[in-house]
A and B are shown apart, each in its own frame.
Chain A
Amino acid sequence: MDNLERKPKAPERPDGCAACGAEGRQAAGKGPGRTLSRTRPWVQAGFAGLWLAPLGQWLHGIPGCVFHCYSCPLSALACPVGVLANYAALFPVAPEAPCLLLGVLLVVAATSGSLVCGWACPFGFLQDLLAKLTPRKITLPAWTGHTRYAVLVGLVILLPLALGYKGIRFDDQAVSICRLCPAGALEAGLPFSVRSLLTGHGWIMSGFKSALLVAFLAAALFIHRPWCRLFCPLGGLLALFNRWSLFHLRFNPKECVECNLCRSRCSMGVKVDQKVNVPGCIRCLECTTCGAIEPRMATPKE
């Protein structure tokens, strides 16, 4: 049971620290994190409504900055991961530079890093909701986050590129990120399969993809954000810019009362007490509850 933990509740009163029991330490709980924590689900729901607004397909030519399937009937923007994989598969036939995709991702990454993961990603929001259903979670070691880069380089770039050189088009590739993606299974495979079932044409999503979807939903109950932590190539890419992004987190040693609240509030297993602008962070800003870590925008005067 050592690997099971219960997400702790932050101290209700800002005048003491439940972690260390220290009295008179005024800092714990006075940061903006508590307000942000209450606001975040509403912001996430708002963004989910924005990304999944039934606006038709006229925005499909513009890659979005969050992870969700562009084949979803309600999807407004294109999926950046799917677009990148398509560009890679097309490269042997027509080498094109994905200017728009790189531009969108660079602007978002340089201004906010992985802030969109914690606040704007609809798939992350879904996983957050699923995580609320079960109190006990399995903690994963920090190194497991590196698998996201293996997915990004291997599955999103190199595999479609290699199969493209073999003359196999992306739509015909038996193994691809789109065929393994649980967001695709949930947002596109599931609605189209249900519609097909209702019209008497049977379940059209493959058994493998259906099983992946079930496995992912089950995993999200017991691991906090399993897709984001282990596989999300977009989150991995954006988080690489956490170190340089204009929006960042700043640690103020004068405010720190060593209550460990920052670390215990982090559901992503980041060692917030050591370093906070790291690739494992989704910038949910829960760690700002204690007040020693504060969200900031970089300015030229710093």
Chain B
Amino acid sequence: MLSRVRQPPINPALRDLERHDFWAGFAIALAGLLLVVCGARHLTSIETVEGGTAWETQLVKAFSTSGLQFPEQVIPAPPPNGDDPAALERWARQNSQYSAPAWKVRVDAGATTPCPT
């Protein structure tokens, strides 16, 4: 059979009534609501793979789907080793249009890798 845990005596007369102010909570909730509305329509400074800038919702979604791309991920492979001129030519042709990316990070809105970590 369960027994009640012994508790120290209480004195309701000395207890803090903890009066609650409506306006403090209301002001914080209002500020939060404004941030939600702004956030929903917030265009970040980060580009997307498709072009244009990413919405904040796209950025948040990218966090959970490995949707952030960094420049080192799109750097072309190094030239092939060996003396195969065909392979070297193919590599040169594939990367002839390549130039170092101007962006530091961009969002791939279509990424779906489920667990980044």
A residues neighboring B (CB under 8 Å): 5-9, 18-19, 57, 60-63, 70-71, 73, 75, 78-79, 82-83, 86, 90, 93-94, 96, 98-111, 135, 169-171, 176, 178-179, 184, 188-189, 192, 241, 244-246, 248-251, 253, 256, 258, 260, 263-264, 273-277, 292, 296, 298-300, 302
A178 contacts which chain B residues (CB < 8 A)? 116-117
B residues neighboring A (CB under 8 Å): 2-5, 7-13, 15-26, 28-29, 31-40, 42, 44-46, 55-61, 63-66, 68, 70, 104-105, 112, 114-117
In the complex, the answer to whether A57 meets B61 with C-beta atoms within 8 Å is yes
Closest Cβ–Cβ distance, residue B54 to chain A (whole Å) = 10
In the complex, the answer to whether B40 meets A78 with C-beta atoms within 8 Å is no
**With A79-B64, A171-B116 known to touch, is A7 a contact of B57 (CB < 8 Å)?**
no
The prevalent SS among residues of B at the interface is mixed
In the complex, the answer to whether B4 meets A103 with C-beta atoms within 8 Å is no
Q: Which residue of B lies closest to A73 (CB)?
A: B114
Cα-based distance from A300 to B21 in the complex (angstroms): 8
In the complex, the answer to whether B31 meets A60 with C-beta atoms within 8 Å is no
In the complex, the answer to whether A251 meets B36 with C-beta atoms within 8 Å is no
Q: Which residue of B lies closest to A18 (CB)?
A: B4
7 pairs across A/B with beta carbons < 8 Å?
A: A8-B4, A75-B64, A78-B60, A78-B61, A98-B56, A109-B28, A296-B20
Cα-based distance from A100 to B36 in the complex (angstroms): 5
B4 contacts which chain A residues (CB < 8 A)? 8, 18-19, 264
In the complex, the answer to whether B60 meets A256 with C-beta atoms within 8 Å is no
In the complex, the answer to whether A90 meets B105 with C-beta atoms within 8 Å is yes
